[in-house]
Structure formats: structure tokens, C-alpha cells
Amino acid sequence: MRRRADVARLTPQGKTPSRMRRLLPALLALLLVAVAAAAWLLGDLAGLGSAFTAKYLCSQVFVADRAAEAVAREDLPAFRSAILDRVRWRLDRAGQRVQADLLGLGRRLARHRPGLGCSLALAGPPADVPPPQPPAPSAPFTEAAAPPALARVVEAAFAEPDPRRPRRTRAVLILQHGRLLAERYAPGFDATTRFPGWSMSKSVLNALLGILVAEGRLALDDPIPVPEWSAAGDPRRAITLRHLLQMSSGLAFDEDYDNPRSDVIRMLYGRRDSAAYAAAKPLVSTPGSRFSYSTGTSAILSRLVADTAPEPWPHFAQRALFAPLGMASAVIEPDSAGTPGLASSVWARARDWGRFGQLYLQDGVWQGRRLLPEGWVAFSRTPAPADPLREYGAHFWIRVPHPDRLDAGRPHLVPADALHAAGHGAQYVSILPSQGLVVVRLGLTLDPGSWDHEAFLHDVVATLATDEARQP
């Protein structure tokens, strides 16, 4: 009885449970929710990390023709990701595919198709896309003797002054007045290697859109047809081609490569249809009023190329751009839905990236034939009105983007007429019309500030100017 009385004192009337017993179900429920959320998050991150690994390895092996072991040893650790470090991959060379997963979670598959590169198989196999015809061989460049001092500048570009922050320069190519002055590759790479353009691809997108404008299929200041914006009264219907090219659409988009769950990562490695993902974003500012660099913007424009071209987009890109320039190595990889990867997935050899730059150096004219509309290169170089720093034009950079010039407040070290196709990892095709120069620099530079591209261009220009001054 005493024991019952003690219990009665602890639980009034001997009926009401203790506070702990009341809280226990709620705590258990919270714990289950937390465990489920953690499992979902782990699975989500595992899927993104596996997708990146599968796609990266597939492209490097089957498009760049590199050994998978070298890519796993030299490239993947450079991203310094705890997720990627734990992803395991399997290469099927006969089936031309790579599969990856994280501890059995988030298994993803990337598949290679000749002429189309690699695509992720998300929510089903990659959509059927007609491959381009085999390209004709590229015509060789006329080579010119370069001053010894230029060779030293190029050699220095491959040096590693700070091993803790490696540059990983893999290719440098310099053209002046269309002649090859310098060309050098890191061990394991050569003139036959295709290199990823990453966001240099956006400048290829600029060219294809310019050709469609020249053909009268698009106009800069017309709203573009986007199915997601078709409802009457949708404010996104006011977005024009000019707004999108100048990265001032007003659409929400998180371009954060350090956040594995940002829009750009999720769109590229977690969604089957990149353009649909970007086009579904809401409007957060009036079109044309705010500059916001966005790979989602380029994904929308990539689908516009496919929808507007008079033939399947791989055939259009080859007929209208790659074949005339002799860019025989160029490959555009589609996403899972079949949309061309003109936001970040164009591959080409260093010499073909040089040919692309030469087109813009020559104001859009190639061998006497105008490929880009009159004034298109000038438009591409004109600062986007919404860009407060006046560093970005129309899917081209007007100034080397920080941090690849180290000091954001430093005066210009290169001529003001320069134009740059720039991509992740310090990929560059720099066009300097006043110098007759096209400078290609390709690598895997993932430490911000370890490569100073503007200083490199300055050294190239200064060296050539000094040599010219010495000529009799």
C-alpha cells in the first residue's frame, strides 16, 4: 500500500501519466522524423554526388579519351568533396557507360553515345537525339615563329608556384592574326585531347543564337516562346532574348557551386530536364532590371536553340557553326531530356577552341563568309545594362571574372576591347582584337585565385609588343 501511495503522490489521482511518459511519444516521433530527414538528405546528396562522378568520368574517358584511373587519381580528389571521396564507380568500357553510388545509395548511370558525348540516365534512359554526321578533318593552322620570351611565358603557365593551391594548367594555345604562335600541353594531354568548356559553352550558345537571328528565326527584343510561361498574365512572358543573353531575366536561380543542393547543382545532376527546371523558376525582379549570372538562363536558351533550329539541333550546330570553322572535334552533350548542353557541356580540342575565338576576332566572318549577323560581336561585347560592374556582355565576359584576375579593384591589364569565353576551372578563350590575338588556356584550377588569367594575358601582350619593337 505504501508503494501505491508513493505512486499516487507522483501521479495525481493515480491516473495521469508522468511528464516523461507524456513527452515520450512526441520525442520518439521527432526522432523518427529526424532519422527519416537525415536518410532522405543522405540519399539526395548521394544521388547528386554519384551523378556528378558518373557523368564526369564518362565524359573524360569516352569524350576526352583519358584513362579512368588517371581521372580518378588526378581529377576527382581535386574537388575536395567529402561526398565525392566516398563515391564508388564502375566503368563498362564495352557498353560505354559509368555507374556510381555512395555506399549503395543514389546509384546513377551515365551513358556515352558517339557524336553526342555522355548523358545521365535520370528518370529513364537518355532521350533519343540524332547524332551529327562525322565531321570533315580540320585544316591545319599556319604556324609562325614565336619569340623565345613567349615560350618562357607559356612555360611559366604550367609551373606550380604554390603546391597547396595547384593551377593544373593542361593546355595553352596562342594565335596571332590566325597563325599559331605557341601550343603546349601538360603530361597526359595533347593536341588530340578534347577539353570541357564548362561555361565557355555559353559563348558557343551565343554563336548559335546569333546564327538563328541572322536567319530571321529569332529577334533580340521579342519575347521568347517558353511553354512554362504561356499562361495569360504570366509576367515571365515579358522576358526577351536580349534579357536572357545579358543574364538579366529576373528569374530566381541559385548559382552556388559550393552548395551541393543549390539550383545549379540540382539542375545539372539531379533533374532530367534542365530547361524545364530553370523555366519553372519564379520572377523575382523586373526583366532587364537586375544582373544575375545563371546557368539556368543558358539552359532555357539551349532549349530555344533546339526548338527554333530548322533541323535537329546536332545537325544545325555542325552545319551552321562547327563545319564552317573546321571544329571537327566539337561535341555538345545533351541532358537526359535531349536538350543540348550549351550551358556547360561543350567539348573540343584546344585548336578548335582557338578556331572559335578566331571567329569572334574576325567579327563573325570566316573565310569571307559572314556567319554571325553584322554587329553581333559588338553586341556581345557591350556591357549588360543591368550589370553594375560592367564586366559581362551577352554570354561573354568583357573582363576576366574575379577571382581569376586576383584583385577585383586592379586596373585593367589587358586592352579594353578584350572578350572572354570563360568556364569553371579557369577555362578561357580570350579574344584581343587590337592585338590580333586569341589565347586559349585550359585546366582544372579549383582553388580561387591560384590562376591569374589577366596577368597571364598581360605577359603575353607585353612579350609580343617587346619583340615587335625589337624588329628592324
Instruction: Using the predicted structure, report yes or no on whether residue 4 has a pLDDT greater than 50.
Output: no
413 or 192, which is more confident? Answer: 192
Enter the C-alpha cell of residue 87: 563515391
pLDDT of amino acid 37: 52
Enter the C-alpha cell of residue 102: 555512395
Q: How far apart are CA 315 and CA 317, in angstroms?
A: 6
Average pLDDT over residues 149-173: 97
- The candidate with the shortest Cα–Cα distance to 140, out of 170, 179, 97, 194, is 179
**Whether 260 contacts 267, CB under 8 Å:** no
pLDDT of amino acid 18: 67
- The candidate with the shortest Cα–Cα distance to 242, out of 385, 391, 430, is 385
Tell me the pLDDT of the chain averaged across its residues.
92
pLDDT of amino acid 392: 98
Query: Please, which pLDDT band fits residue 466 given cuts at 50, 70 and 90?
Result: confident
pLDDT of amino acid 249: 98
Q: How far apart are CA 173 and CA 304, in angstroms?
A: 32
DSSP three-state, residue 346 = strand
Query: Please, which pLDDT band fits residue 5 given cuts at 50, 70 and 90?
Result: very low
Q: How far apart are CA 329 and CA 359, in angstroms?
A: 16
Average pLDDT over residues 206-231: 97
Task: Tell me whether residue 120 is exposed, middle or buried, using C-beta atoms within 10 angstroms of its C-beta: 0 to 12, 13 to 18, 19 or more.
Answer: buried
Q: How many C-beta neighbours within 10 Å does residue 406 have?
A: 16
pLDDT of amino acid 36: 54
Q: Which residue do the cell numbers 495525481 mark?
A: 12
Q: Where are the beta strands (DSSP E) in 67-200?
A: 87-92, 97-102, 105-113, 117-120, 142-143, 169-176, 179-185, 194-196
Average pLDDT over residues 461-469: 84
Q: How many residues does the chain have?
A: 472
pLDDT of amino acid 70: 97
pLDDT of amino acid 9: 38
DSSP three-state, residue 449 = coil
Q: How far apart are CA 465 and CA 459, in angstroms?
A: 10
pLDDT of amino acid 228: 97
Query: Please, which pLDDT band fits residue 456 given cuts at 50, 70 and 90?
Result: very high
pLDDT of amino acid 6: 39
Residue type at 311 in one-letter notation: E
Share of the chain above pLDDT 90, in %: 83
Strands 179-185 and 142-143: parallel
Q: How far apart are CA 58 and CA 54, in angstroms?
A: 6
Q: How far apart are CA 333 and CA 130, in angstroms?
A: 12
- The candidate with the shortest Cα–Cα distance to 310, out of 216, 203, 388, is 216
This model's pTM is above 0.75: yes
pLDDT of amino acid 416: 92
Instruction: Using the predicted structure, report yes or no on whether residue 224 has a pLDDT greater than 70.
Output: yes
pLDDT in tens, 375-400: 999 999 999 999 999 999 999 999 99
Instruction: Using the predicted structure, report yes or no on whether residue 81 has a pLDDT greater than 50.
Output: yes
**Whether 157 contacts 172, CB under 8 Å:** yes
pLDDT of amino acid 136: 83
pLDDT of amino acid 137: 83
Q: Where are the domains of the chain?
A: 39-113, 142-470
Q: How far apart are CA 102 and CA 258, in angstroms?
A: 19
pLDDT of amino acid 43: 64
Q: How far apart are CA 379 and CA 364, in angstroms?
A: 12
Q: How many C-beta neighbours within 10 Å does residue 41 have?
A: 11
Average pLDDT over residues 14-21: 58
Q: How far apart are CA 220 and CA 297, in angstroms?
A: 15
134 or 100, which is more confident? Answer: 100
Query: Please, which pLDDT band fits residue 11 given cuts at 50, 70 and 90?
Result: very low
Q: How far apart are CA 418 and CA 362, in angstroms?
A: 13
pLDDT of amino acid 1: 39
Residue type at 369 in one-letter notation: R
pLDDT in tens, 183-212: 999 999 999 999 999 999 999 999 999 999
Q: How far apart are CA 216 and CA 318, in angstroms?
A: 19
Preceding omega of 147 cis (within 30 degrees of 0): no
Instruction: Using the predicted structure, report yes or no on whether residue 39 has a pLDDT greater than 60.
Output: no
Q: DSSP secondary structure string, 232-269?
A: TT-GGGG-BHHHHHTT---B-----TTSTTSHHHHHHH
Instruction: Using the predicted structure, report yes or no on whether residue 336 has a pLDDT greater than 80.
Output: yes
pLDDT of amino acid 193: 98
| CATH code for the part of the protein at 142-470 | 3.40.710.10
pLDDT of amino acid 344: 98
Q: DSSP secondary structure string, 317-350?
A: HIIIIIHHHT-TT-EE-B-TTS-B-TTT-EEEEH
**CA of 442: how far to CAs of 342, 354, 430, in Å?**
18, 11, 11
pLDDT in tens, 82-105: 999 999 999 999 999 999 999 999
